[in-house]
Chain A
Amino acid sequence: MPLLELQNISKHFGAIHALNDVSLSLEPGQVVGLMGDNGAGKSTMVKIIAGNFRPTHGTMRMEGRDLSMHRPIEARQHGIEIVHQDLALCDNLSAAANVFLGREIRKGFGPFKILDYATMYRRAGQIFAELRSETRPRDLVRQMSGGQRQAVAIARTRIADAKLVLMDEPTAAISVRQVAEVLNLIRLLRDRGIAIVLISHRMPDVFSVADRVVVLRRGRKVADKPVAASSPEEVTGLITGAIEHAL
């Protein structure tokens, strides 16, 4: 049974058809590279999976059950986590505070609950160790390198047992060495059976880490094939429209 299944999803904004009849299925532990030019419908698709938009047509199923979300927070309850392009970190808070933001662990009785710093530091420390990151839970995010910040954003997806992680351009604005770190993090998540949708403009990243590549053009899916059976040249052609459809 596929983990996530999109069937004939369309999204219209008035007369604009941002997505047209797109179907996609994802298996656990699979990394899918989602590619396409600006305005091809990548972010619309991600926002639909993340619960920001409701599709105009079509159905979504998560582990065989119907998925219908009204607010982004609901996506989390279904095991879908998003790593935002800007990472959505608060510079003035510690790494642990960022990891647990919106899901703080508290202790106490009834309405008198206080933040459980010790548990959050410990859990964050375990997650960073699991991600083989040197990030320290008590350090302020302001003082961190690009790679460490990525680790904090990715650590968030590990608090709840995420089954699917959407990553929006995680390697867009970081150094070469840090790109390698991030790709390693993606492999770590994959090895734990988590499915990943990697939205990226960078061909080398997709071809080094993804199992499948999906190309969108003008709201339509024009390719969905194993990376082993494709090539950067073909994908470039599909993105620009030089190649109409993948074989």
Chain B
Amino acid sequence: MDIQFDDEVKRARFPLLAWLTSRQAFWVLIAVCVACIFLSFATNSFATSNNLFNVTRNFTFVAVIALGMTIVIITGGIDLSVGSVLCLCSMILAVVMHAGYSIEVGIAASLGTALLIGAINGVLIAYLDIPPFVVTLGMLSIARSLAMVASNNTVVFQFGPDHDKLLFLGGGAWLFGISNPVLYMLALTLLTGFVLHFTRFGRYVFAIGGNEHAATVTGVPVRRTKVIVYMISALSAGIAGVIETGWLGAVTTNLGAGMELQVIAAAVIGGANLAGGIGTAFGALIGSALIEVIRNSLGLLGISAFWQGTFVGIFIIVAVTFDRLRNFGFQRD
């Protein structure tokens, strides 16, 4: 009781502090900062501009998709197809540009494919009431297979007349040496945060995840909103695919394999609740950052990369446990 009373006082006297400490993303941010500070002292190679450039760029692809995934998770859904959709979109871009079309046409075809796949997912989930897990699991299989069909399972590394433009898009850095993918990621995070917090669509996303029945009876266009949500998710995978293609300079048909799990892990570590109704854009970003920092630090500390999964897994479980413990607190008062 005393502790809770103190809690109340603290909440009243320091509203900003109370708000921050109630955010999972805040604690994950602290974890990232602590890890970075530790690594700066423990190794010579972490705090070099070269390594930081790599770290920030490496997690952008997961982070961009985690933004879309977070929106899906807030509605109480899941999208397992993102890794395959990333691969298919990369491959469409590669094949179209390889055939001699400009980068604009390539990107339009690639993102158009993403939107179409998202729309198919969304319509099956929202209008035919098929569970998202099943629909997107099917799409995971279909999209990767189509990528193989589109490329005849070959590696594409020549992108026609706009080859250099594409490589600059994904691999360049024009602002203070920050790599382009990082800029896209920051812009998309701000955009996602804005949409979730300030638009009616964002409000509907939270309402559907909180109580879908309530949303329906109060006149929220639940089905239409869900279709758009899955289109956004696929689009985020498409955008990540385009950037990653530009960065790698080659596309293979195993690109993005297993990425869906990394993306979901990032969203969940960042505070998205798989039961729906809770999640933030910043959380998606910071969750992805934590996973990359873990990966990078194991390498620098000379620990075998095989341990990576253990650490990421522990963080997922700790993050969710943390959330559980906080909710127990709520139920007591």
Interface residue ranges, A against B (CB under 8 Å): 72-73, 76, 82, 84, 86-93, 97, 101-104, 106, 113-115, 142-143, 156
Residues of A within 8 A of B215 (CB): 90, 101-102
Task: Give the contact stretch, choosing among B77-85, B86-94, B198-206, B280-288.
Answer: B198-206
Q: Do A101 and B220 have beta carbons less than 8 Å apart?
A: yes
A92 touches B277 (CB 8 A): yes
For B, the interface residue count at a CB cutoff of 8 angstroms equals: 19
Q: Contact: A101 with B330, CB < 8 Å?
A: no
B:245-292 near A, CB below 8 Å: 277-278
Contact A90 B219 (CB under 8 A): no
- In the assembled complex, B193 has its CB within 8 A of some CB on chain A: no
Name the B residues within 8 Å of A106 (CB-CB). 200
| Residue of A with least CB distance to B276 | A92
* Contact A73:B203 (CB < 8 A) given known A115-B198, A143-B330: no
Shortest C-beta distance, A100 to chain B (Å), equals 9
Contact A93 B217 (CB under 8 A): no
Across-interface contacts of B200 in A (CB, < 8 A): 104, 106, 113, 115
Contact of B213 among A73, A86, A91 (CB under 8 A): A86
Shortest beta-carbon distance from A169 to chain B in Å:
15
Give chain A residues whose Cβ lies under 8 Å from the Cβ of B214. Answer: 84, 86-90, 101
> Within 8 Å CB of A72, what residues of B?
217, 219
- CB of B189 to closest CB in A, whole Å: 18
B238 within 8 A of A: no
- The answer to the question of B172 belonging to the interface, with a C-beta cut-off of 8 Å to chain A, is no
B191 to chain A, nearest CB (A): 13
Known contacts: A90-B210, A92-B210. The answer to whether A82 contacts B217 by CB under 8 A is yes
Some 13 contacts from A to B, beta carbons below 8 A apart, are A86-B214, A89-B211, A89-B214, A90-B207, A90-B277, A92-B206, A101-B203, A101-B215, A104-B200, A104-B203, A106-B200, A115-B199, A143-B330
B198 touches A90 (CB 8 A): no
A93 to B214 Cα, complex, angstroms: 12
The answer, among A73, A76, A91, A115, for a CB contact under 8 Å with B211, is A91
Give the one of B198, B214, B330 with max A CB within 10 A.
B214
Query: Across the interface, which residues of A come within 8 angstroms of B277, CB to CB?
Result: 90-92
Cα separation A68 to B217 with both chains bound (whole Å): 19
Establish whether residues B219 and A103, one from each chain, have CB atoms under 8 Å apart when the complex forms: yes
Contacts A90-B277, A115-B203, A143-B330: A102 and B219 contacting too (C-beta < 8 A)? yes
Q: Among the interface residues B199, B207, B210, B278, which one has the most CB atoms of the partner chain A within 10 A? A: B210
- Given the known inter-chain contacts A93-B206, A101-B207, please indicate yes or no for A114 contacting B217, CB distance below 8 A: no
Point out the residues of chain A lying under 8 angstroms from B199, CB to CB: 113-115
Q: Considering the chains assembled together, what is the distance between the CA atoms of A86 and B213 in angstroms?
A: 10
Q: Which of B98-148 contact A (CB under 8 A)?
A: none
Query: How many whole Å from B118's CB to the nearest CB in chain A?
Result: 21
Please measure, in the bound complex, the distance between the C-alpha atom of A91 and the C-alpha atom of B327, giving whole angstroms.
Answer: 13
A89 nearest in chain B by CB position: B214
Minimal Cβ-Cβ distance residue in B for A52: B217
Q: Is B218 an interface residue (CB 8 A)?
A: yes
Interchain residue pairs A-B with the least CB separation, the first 3? A90-B210, A102-B219, A92-B277
**Structural contact, B209 and A114, CB atoms closer than 8 A:** no
Which residues of B lie under 8 Å from residue A101 when comparing CB positions?
203, 207, 214-215, 218, 220
CA A108 to CA B235, docked complex, whole Å: 27
A142 adjacent to B330 (CB under 8 Å): yes
Q: Which residues of B contact A156 (CB under 8 A)?
A: 218
In the assembled complex, how far is the CB of residue A31 from the closest CB belonging to chain B, in whole angstroms?
A: 23
| A-contacting residues, B307-333, CB 8 Å | 330
What residues of B have a CB within 8 angstroms of the CB of A87 in the complex? 214
A-side contacts of B198, CB under 8 Å: 114-115
How many Å from the CB of B18 to the closest CB on chain A? 13
Shortest Cβ gap from B282 to chain A (Å): 17
Q: How far is the CB of B156 from chain A (nearest CB, A)?
A: 38
CB-based contact A93/B218 at 8 Å: no
Chain A contacts for B211, CB-based, 8 A: 88-91
Separation of A142 and B327 alpha carbons in the complex (Å): 11
Residues of B within 8 A of A113 (CB): 199-200
CB atoms of A92 and B278 under 8 A apart: yes
Q: Which residues of A lie under 8 Å from residue B207 when comparing CB positions?
A: 90, 93, 97, 101
With most chain B CB atoms within 10 A of its CB, the pick from A82, A113, A114 is A114
